[in-house]
Amino acid sequence: MTDLLVPTYRQMLRTLAGLLDRALEQRPDAAEELLAARLAPDMLPLASQIRFAAFQAQEAVYRLTGQALPGWLVQVAAEGWDVRDRPGTVAEARARLEQALARPDALEPAALDGGAALAIALDLPDGLAFELAGEACARDWALPQFYFHAVSACAILRTRGIAIGKADHVPHMLAYRRAGGAQA
């Protein structure tokens, strides 16, 4: 599980940071507007999507190592819910991404592997509660939730005129490029 989750989180968190940088390069005067942008009126804005992606990457690490979520991490999720009134700054969003990168980077090899059989309880803010094994939690909760927020962030930027596409979402794939293939 470590070999699946850690590189996934690392790659996509770096991608989100890079997309924020691209957005600022293309629209340096619109940072606040971009952070407050959303795909639909009832959907949370870009600032929330970034915070939730940062939260999800770290939540899985704590849960799969059998640790309680620390208060500062619970605060990251609370910020995601509370940004309707204050989306924050790009610097704050980048800081959350950097903080999220630090956690998986600090793990020992195979640190999450023992969590596959752990019983994990998820209590959501809307009152829903789930209990599942660590492997199911990683597969059915952690990765889908993480990707939902990462893809939503990309889509919000794209709908606001930021020139990004699928290749910008998966820049890590260039490491696998075959010689003689089409140029990127």
> In the structure encoding, which two tokens stand for residue 149, read together?
């927020």
Per the structure, the complete domain to which residue 72 belongs is given by: 2-176
Nearest CA to 99 out of 50, 27, 144, 146 is that of: 50
CA distance 67 to 40: 35
Does a structural domain hold residue 181? no
For residue 182, tell me if it sits in a domain.
no
**Residue 120, beta-bridge partner list:** 132
- Of 81, 101, 93, the residue nearest 34 (C-alpha): 93
Is 73 inside a domain boundary? yes
Profile the chain (184 residues) by mean pLDDT over runs of 10 residues. Answer: 94 94 92 92 94 94 94 90 79 92 88 94 88 95 96 95 86 82 62
Contact 160, 32 (CB under 8 A): no
> What pLDDT is stored for residue 85 in this prediction?
66
Q: Give residue 3's pLDDT.
A: 93
Let me know if 27 is exposed, middle or buried by CB neighbors in 10 A (0-12, 13-18, 19+).
middle
**SS3 call for 142:** helix
- Answer yes or no: is 92 within a domain: yes
Complete DSSP assignment for 79-141: HHHHTTT----HHHHHHHHHHHHHHHHTPPTTTTGGGGG-EEEEE-TTS-EEEEEHHHIIIII
Asked if residue 100 belongs to a domain, the reply is yes
Dist CA 40 CA 65 (whole Å)? 36
In a domain, 25, yes or no: yes
pLDDT of residue 183: 62
Which pLDDT value is given to residue 13?
A: 96
Task: Domain count for the chain, please give it.
Answer: 1
Instruction: Please indicate, yes or no, if residue 183 is contained in any of the structural domains.
Output: no
List the Cα angle 168/173/179 in 5-degree steps: 120
CATH code: domain of residue 50:
1.20.120.450
Q: Is residue 18 part of a domain?
A: yes
Longest dimension (CA), the chain: 53
